[in-house]
Structure 1
Amino acid sequence: MSTTRQRGSVLIVEDDEDIRAAMAELLEGEGFEVAVASNGQEGLEVLSQIGPPCLVLLDLMMPVMNGEDFLRHVRQDPAQSDIPIIIVTASGRAPLPGTQGILKKPFEISELFSTVNLHCR
């Protein structure tokens, strides 16, 4: 069963408070609704409350539940399996199966906006 994603709603799952806050502020300034979580477990809880966003920006290395575990849970849930997910990481790894790409830290603000605009609006 596929659900309709909220247009203009972005979930940021990032444990670094400064990065999370900066991304949220930038995207809110561009008119996006932004929800945030500091780890994968919080991210799953937020998803259950807000419904499917148009995009998830997902860090990989986090405490409690890492990005790969979050991704696995989301992809196993039929109501969330088609949510676009972009990995946001400083590592040089390739995109993970089930994701729509990587935004490598540090990134330019224009890269963030173009990535989000590709999936939202």
Structure 2
Amino acid sequence: MLPVLLIEDDDDIRDVVAELLRDEGYVVHEVADGKQALAYLHGEGRDPCLILLDLMMPLVDGWQVLSRLRAQDRLLALPVVVMSASAPEAAPSGVAAVVRKPIDLDLLLGLVQRYCGCPPDDSR
């Protein structure tokens, strides 16, 4: 299963979202800023099924990450869900969806299911 890439500088939010997704059976790779995210994405074979992207971050913000993603053919098609209190109501170009903070976890989980599919059921 491809991982969800969670890019969030707030430790508490990152922990809650990552725990929710892992509890649902998803693989999650967490990074705390845009610089770490770009380094991860430039690695060979590191294409996630979905990117959850905070906009307001130090070093390289979410808009800069999005711009750099969309400038590379290999990364152009990756779905991006923006998570931010300052996000626009409608998804801007290059963004699959917007989830406003405080995060509606049911909405977020539904978006992850839409773009990554349902995780395998290990209980069978």
Q: Same fold (TM over 0.5)?
A: yes
- % identical aligned pairs: 36
Query: Structure 2 vs 1, CA of residues 33 and 73 (structure 1 numbering), >3 Å: closer, same or farther?
Result: same
1:105 is matched by which residue type in structure 2?
K
Partner of 1:77: 72
Q: For structure 2, which runs of at least 5 residues remain unmatched after alignment?
A: 118-124
Give the deviation of 1:111 after TM superposition: 1.1
Q: For structure 1, which runs of at least 5 residues remain unmatched after alignment?
A: 1-6
Segment of structure 1 superposing worse, 26-35 or 89-98: 89-98
TM-score by length of structure 2 reads: 0.87
| 2:23 is aligned with 1:29 | yes
| 2:101 is aligned with 1:105 | yes
Give the deviation of 1:41 after TM superposition: 0.8
The 3-state SS of whatever aligns with 1:80 is helix
TM-score by length of structure 1 reads: 0.89
The runs of at least 4 aligned residues of structure 1 exceeding 2 Å deviation read none
Report if aligned partners of 1:35, 1:46 keep a CA contact under 8 Å in 2: no
Segment of structure 1 superposing worse, 48-57 or 23-32: 48-57
Give the deviation of 1:45 after TM superposition: 1.1
Segment of structure 1 superposing worse, 86-95 or 27-36: 86-95
1:52 is matched by which residue type in structure 2?
D
Higher Rg: 2
Give the deviation of 1:52 after TM superposition: 1.0
Mapped partners of 1:39, 1:95: distance in 2 = 21
Partner of 1:119: 115
Tell me how large the CA RMSD over aligned residues is.
1.3
Specify which structure has the higher proportion of strand.
1
Give the deviation of 1:109 after TM superposition: 1.9
Mapped partners of 1:64, 1:96: distance in 2 = 22
Mapped partners of 1:26, 1:66: distance in 2 = 24
The 3-state SS of whatever aligns with 2:21 is helix
Mapped partners of 1:92, 1:60: distance in 2 = 8
Give the deviation of 1:77 after TM superposition: 0.9
Partner of 2:37: 43
The 3-state SS of whatever aligns with 2:18 is helix
